[in-house]
Amino acid sequence: MSVPKELETIRLIATQHLTEYFTHFIRDQKAIEPKLYEAIEYALLNGGKRMRPLLVYLIGEMLEIEKHLLAPIALSIECIHAYSLVHDDLPAMDDDDLRRGSPTCHIKFDEATAILAGDALQSLAFEILSKDPNLTSEIKVSLISTLAKAAGPQGMVGGQSLDLSATNKKINLDELNQLHRLKTGALLSASVSLPCILDNRIKKGELSNILKFASHIGLAFQIQDDILDIISSTETLGKPQGSDDESNKSTFVSLLGLDGAKKKLAHQHEQAIQALRTLPYNTNNLATFTDFMVTRTY
């Protein structure tokens, strides 16, 4: 399934802003060793669904935030996401050779360069936020703190650690939910919560429901990934099909069966839509995004 037309327009704008902002930002840096620069650019800009930047822009659209204020947030989150993929693909982690239909960073370059590119992307994420001239110091601190928590041991990295610990083990559904709320959900939630920091008009109850929406789509995203790992192909996914099963990892499909995983996906989808319905904003595009999350084929 292709990206719905109304979302594709916003996704293309987000991708264009990412490329322009990254290029402009890098030009302001002192000389970067050419091989490292090439690896950073390859990891960040070589394809990808851009779901997190798209979500940043959709939340910004809902809140009527100017797009130039969203660009550094979208890029910083995508830098964290790209670094996590580079490191996840390493031999010491998931040991994958294919990502986004192309060789993984350590295959394209070498393992040491891939590690350094991931390290660089992580630090760039926070430098981008700290240097943006359109953000106040107070907002910068809040953005950096929120992203750091989402990316660190209480978020994505913590979830990855749980994932590694669970390999070759049978874990229960509650443990799997927690694993993916951190590993996948934390950064998707950050894609929602960071734009909200720019709008001081949001009421506490509204923010709570926006974050509830983020939590449900984070889990839905992972459940659909687990389903696609079984029913899709390597060519469609752009990464090895069946890799979770081959690595002996617990997934929503392995715990619930394919039909059970689809039911859980439908429940998370409905809960996300219900959260959107409580909000006093135009959430049509966010609803379309949610529908796409649970019907995508890649």
Measured N-to-C along each axis, helices 67-88 and 51-63 cross at an angle, to the nearest 10 degrees, of 160
Question: What element of type H or E holds 228?
Answer: helix 204-231
The two three-digit tokens of residue 248, written as one number: 């002996």
Q: Which pLDDT value is given to residue 167?
A: 85
Average pLDDT taken over every residue of the chain: 91
18 vs 44: CA distance, rounded Å: 9
Q: Which pLDDT value is given to residue 47?
A: 80
Pairing of strands 98-99, 102-103: antiparallel
pLDDT band at 287 (very low <50, low <70, confident <90, very high): very high
Number of Cβ within 10 Å of residue 273's Cβ equals 17
Q: By the 8 A CB rule, do 179 and 155 touch?
A: no
pLDDT band at 78 (very low <50, low <70, confident <90, very high): very high
The two three-digit tokens of residue 105, written as one number: 């960073």
* Matching residue, tokens 């039911």: 263
**pLDDT reading at 239 higher than 80:** no
Averaged over 264-281, what is the pLDDT?
96
Q: Which of 105, 146, 110 is nearest to 125 (CA)?
A: 146
Q: By the 8 A CB rule, do 213 and 275 touch?
A: yes
Burial of 15 (0-12, 13-18, 19+ CB in 10 A): middle
Amino acid 194 reads L
**pLDDT reading at 248 higher than 80:** no
**Regarding the domain delimited by 5-295, which CATH topology (the fold level of the hierarchy) does it fall under?**
Farnesyl Diphosphate Synthase (1.10.600)
226 vs 222: CA distance, rounded Å: 6
Q: By the 8 A CB rule, do 168 and 248 touch?
A: yes
How do residues 154-201 score in pLDDT, each as one tens digit? 999 999 999 999 988 889 999 999 999 999 999 999 999 999 999 999
Q: By the 8 A CB rule, do 143 and 197 touch?
A: yes
**103: helix, strand or coil:** strand
201 vs 244: CA distance, rounded Å: 43
How do residues 213-232 score in pLDDT, each as one tens digit? 999 999 999 999 999 988 87
pLDDT band at 210 (very low <50, low <70, confident <90, very high): very high
128 vs 25: CA distance, rounded Å: 8
298 vs 290: CA distance, rounded Å: 15
152 vs 247: CA distance, rounded Å: 24
pLDDT band at 83 (very low <50, low <70, confident <90, very high): very high
Q: Which pLDDT value is given to residue 249?
A: 80
pLDDT band at 88 (very low <50, low <70, confident <90, very high): very high
Number of Cβ within 10 Å of residue 43's Cβ equals 28
**pLDDT reading at 1 higher than 80:** no
Question: What element of type H or E holds 179?
Answer: helix 173-183
